[in-house]
Structure 1
Amino acid sequence: MNTQILPIADESELVQASTGTNSQEIDAAFKEFKDILKSIDPSKKRFEVFSDFVTMFACSIRNSMAGLNKELFNQDIEAEYLSIIKRYKPSDVQKFPQLCSLIVILLNLHGTPHDVLGDLYMDLEFGEKYKAQFFTPSPISELMASMNAESMAQVIRDKGYVTASDPACGAGSALLGMVSELIGKKFNPIQTMFIEGISVHDKNR
């Protein structure tokens, strides 16, 4: 198996996450991510490199579950990862783990679940350029979630859990807003929330 095993966060850390942010550190990590992304294989379009990164990151996270149970390893996902990574030269391959680290850093700096990938996608102007996908700004997702926060909390108090489904989830901004609200109300979403996120993406668009 070539995809990296990633650590799974302690669920207590999720509930106790700080809501504070350091805007200067976030801006610095954001800029570093974009600088590294722009340095990878100049012969490729930036959207292609970004899309490849997101796909490989997702493959790595999915197959990291094999660290808990070997039966969870998916060979098709591994093959997809390998088919992408082989298109890049070794010096560029080394930059993808740096991008992964910066995503984790940005998530930690925000303190609560945040659509970091959506922010990057829109800042890099992929939505404008490809006219195909637009990511809901995080403040809008947070506002919508806050409007439903008390009703979600009541459902949890009545049933023990709440369900959420987004048929066009993209990077999950709306769902992340709901998770943040539950954390703010001292619920552990790992134990009290079932999420279904559906997204259709045509790579040839």
Structure 2
Amino acid sequence: METNINSFVSAEKQIINSIEKLSGSYTPYVIFTDWVKMMAISIQNSCTIHNKLWDTREKLYLDTVKKYNSGEVALFCKMHGLLWQLYQEYGIYDYLGDIYMRSGAGSKMTGQFFTPFHVSELCAIIRLKDVKKDENIKMNEPSVGGGGMILASAKVLCDKGINYQKNLEVVAQDLDWNGVYMTYVQLSMTGIKAVVVQGDTLAEKDYSAEKMLVTPAKIGVLL
């Protein structure tokens, strides 16, 4: 899909301006992390059965959203819609990583920086240069960040005429919940089959259900 750069910048800029507008009582970092948390929970709970875990996540969502008034909540919803628009109209890209860095959410104090997408794409081109059209590909990202490398891999497969939604399966992990939520949202919106886990890849062997988010594509649900 050919990207319309001007429209892309406009839609992304609207999200960044909204984060700035919402930043008053809370920093851009808090606004961004609350936004991706609420998006991730709303996607996960919309495609899973109502059980104890569903209730736990719903409570986390409600505890987060109650920090904001109705106008601010409406702006969060608009931002969610704009992110969907980016993926639907302008193709695969690490939009959340870009928004995070451009909105002022990232800083030396948070210690969280995301690889520029063109660098991730170059790495994916090299790594996937010999992949065959009907080959099933399994990826494990032990420190996934915002999911940029997985998204770049999906884009490279797509550019090669390979159906990444059918042929690619992912297990992604990260210590930081913000990275987990970012990855989950982006992989859900691009239709990638994935399990995204919060935890220490080196120290932990088993993960509880509370630490695992499963994308709609992995469950078999269309958004």
- TM-score, normalised by the number of residues in structure 1: 0.79
Q: Distance in 2 between matches of 1:71 and 1:186?
A: 40
- Aligned counterpart, 2:100: 121
Alignment pair present for 1:21 and 2:24: no
Alignment pair present for 1:91 and 2:66: no
Gaps of 5+ in 1: 1-17
Alignment pair present for 1:110 and 2:90: yes
What secondary structure, in the 3-state scheme, does the structure 2 residue paired with 1:198 have?
strand
- Aligned counterpart, 1:195: 170
More helix by share: 1
- C-alpha deviation, 1:110, in angstroms: 2.6
Alignment pair present for 1:147 and 2:126: yes
Contact 1:146-1:181 at 8 Å conserved across structures? yes
Root-mean-square deviation over aligned CA pairs: 2.1
Alignment pair present for 1:165 and 2:147: no
Query: Which 10-residue stretch deviates more, 34-43 or 115-124?
Result: 34-43
Q: Which runs of 4+ in 1 moved over 6 A?
A: none
Q: Distance in 1 between matches of 2:69 and 2:110?
A: 30
Distance 1:186 1:56, change over 3 A: same
Gaps of 5+ in 2: 179-223
The number of residues matched between the two structures is 178
- C-alpha deviation, 1:201, in angstroms: 1.4
Q: Distance in 1 between matches of 2:28 and 2:12?
A: 16
- TM-score, normalised by the number of residues in structure 2: 0.73
- Aligned counterpart, 1:134: 113
More strand by share: 2
Q: Please identify the structure whose Cα radius of gyration is greater.
A: 1
Contact 1:63-1:72 at 8 Å conserved across structures? no
Q: Distance in 2 between matches of 1:72 and 1:186?
A: 42
Contact 1:25-1:109 at 8 Å conserved across structures? no
Counterpart code for 1:163: K
Q: Percent identity?
A: 27
